[in-house]
Amino acid sequence: MAQDDILKKIIAHSKEYGFIFQSSEIYDGLSAVYDYGQHGSELKNNIKRYWWDSMVKLNENIVGIDSAIFMHPTVWKASGHVGAFSDPLIDNKDSKKRYRADVLIEEYMAKIENKIQKEVDKAEKKFGDTFDEEQFKKTNPRVLANQEKIEAIRTRFVSALEKDDLAELKKIIEDLEIACPVSGSKNWTDVRQFNLMFETKLGSVSEDANSIYLRPETAQGIFVNYLNVQKSGRMKIPFGIAQIGKAFRNEIVARQFIFRMREFEQMEMQFFVRPGEEMEWFKLWKETRIKWHKALGASEKKYRFHDHDKLAHYANAATDIEFDFPMGFKEVEGIHSRTDFDLSQHQEFSGKKIQYFDPETNQSYVPYVIETSIGLDRMFLTILSNAYTEEVIEKEGGKKEERVVLKIPAELAPVKLAILPLLRKDALPEKAREILNDLKYDVNCIYEEKDSIGKRYRRQDAIGTPYCITVDHQTIEDNTVTLRNRDTMEQERIPVEKVREIVIAKTSINNLLKKG
Ligand code: ATP
């Protein structure tokens, strides 16, 4: 299936089954803003819980906070966002479509990378087990030529970004003959900087009002609370502060469903360390975070690290964890060594001393920071795109049937157990509800009695429910039910008293946490 088609199917499926709706849809929607429906919000909460517990519950030296979205406007001057939180934009004069100039160039480089990958895949098929990928990449003339091309573009690109040379960015686009994907034309405007922060007014009388911003990242709420948390929690370095919350960016291009939104949610953790030790911690957090992702069971091939070509003004090392989305490999999480930039800036702008006295070294210093920053919505999309599966199943008598199943990790599934009376009579609904009322305190259950049992199974498959139990006449006689597994579709007969234990054992978030 073409990659575009997969994304389209995921979008349609998300809407049909109550995961994600376009915001204000009855008014034709609001661009790049989405609402989470009944199953989407459950899945989102489960992802949050997995992240929060892995940070806060499992680590004695990491605590969580929940800071306000509105902050003093000087915060954003100190952090550099007022001056520099912008993207270079370019318009195509024919289609009137707007693009990020840097993304156009990055996508051009990614296309060449794909060509290299195709060569590698072809050769791997040809040579089989004896294939040595590294050797091949070092010697194949076509691969070498393409690599050289990428390197030449990258050198120019990074230098233009570092110098903020917008004219050079445009020149690169022209020299590479990059065309607008919509109009096909190369008729571009100049490149301009565009600040991504939303501005609003605080106060009831607009003339007296102060401009404030909707936060573009949650991290600053952590930095400005560093002293509060360190003192009130008597935290000793190294320690971390975690937070989950909304962030807002007036994105120039917002066309990829929940991948790039104007209102989104971040899960960020700032880890404060002794200056000079940041690289060790950077390495450790890289390893810890990739393990967290891989515990979810997607193929290893779906993840890769991508080190930044151009470091942000505050960073001395940065890498992205990229996931193979339907649109290709893209960032889902950033891990950044932010030095003492943010705390030092807040110290300077606020005039308050933000330092740590280290009892082990008898010295005071501004701590260094390693940040792990993951987009909750992008994480949601990794789960959906990895889970969406179309299967053809063989029925009795050679009949074939198609089913769409969301193979969401059972621990994150919105509903863990569906309780289905076989018929709407013979006291089966009453018995099913009795089981539901007993289990609902421990397990997120759903009760369904409408339609044939086959149709009900399909609906549960479509929302990713890992288990269904069916209550039939035998249940009334011997208190047993059939337990159906979403992935294998196998059914087994088990005593009702066992259901809780089996479902909890397979769906507890602790299973994931213990893998980390
Ligand atoms: P990109 O290069 O894709 O714009 P970024 O490097 O600006 O992302 P960061 O500032 O590092 O992103 O933000 C941390 C994380 O927040 C990202 O890894 C991503 O998962 C998430 N994120 C950032 N912008 C958005 C957005 N517009 N919509 C959804 N998630 C986002």
Q: Which domains does the chain have, with CATH numbers?
A: 43-67+214-403 (3.30.930.10), 86-195 (3.30.40.230), 410-515 (3.40.50.800)
In testing the pocket of ligand 1, which one of 248, 255, 264 has its CB within 8 Å of the most ligand atoms? 264
Q: List pLDDT tens digits, range 4-35.
A: 789 999 999 999 999 999 999 999 999 999 99
Q: List pLDDT tens digits, range 253-275.
A: 777 899 999 999 999 999 999 99
pLDDT at 202: 82
245: Cβ contacts below 8 Å, ≥ 6 apart:
66, 67, 69, 218, 221, 265, 266
Q: Whose CA is nearest to atom 23 of ligand 1?
A: 375
Is the minimum distance from the CB of 333 to ligand 1 under 6 angstroms? yes
Q: H or E stretch including 116?
A: helix 101-127
Q: List pLDDT tens digits, range 457-504.
A: 999 999 999 999 999 999 999 999 999 999 999 999 999 999 999 999
pLDDT at 18: 98
pLDDT at 1: 62
pLDDT at 87: 86
> If you count them, how many residues does the chain have?
516
Q: H or E stretch including 404?
A: strand 400-406
The span from the CA of 331 to the CA of 311, in Å, is 15
Which span out of 128-142, 199-213, 236-250, 251-265 was modeled with the highest average pLDDT? 236-250
pLDDT at 51: 98
Asked if the model's pLDDT at residue 305 lies above 80, the reply is: yes
Q: Whose CA is nearest to atom 10 of ligand 1?
A: 217
State the pLDDT confidence band at 2, using cuts at 50, 70 and 90. Answer: low
More confident of the two residues 83 and 286: 286
**Torsions phi, psi of 404, nearest 5?**
-105, 125
Percentage of residues in the chain with pLDDT exceeding 70? 98
Q: Do residues 215 and 29 make contact, with C-beta atoms less than 8 angstroms apart?
A: no
Which atom of ligand 1 is nearest to 373's Cα? Answer: 14
* Weakest-pLDDT range from 47-51, 191-195, 490-494: 191-195
Q: Whose CA is nearest to atom 18 of ligand 1?
A: 333
The CA distances from residue 203 to 38, 208, 209, 242, in Å, are: 35, 7, 5, 30
Q: Whose CA is nearest to atom 31 of ligand 1?
A: 375
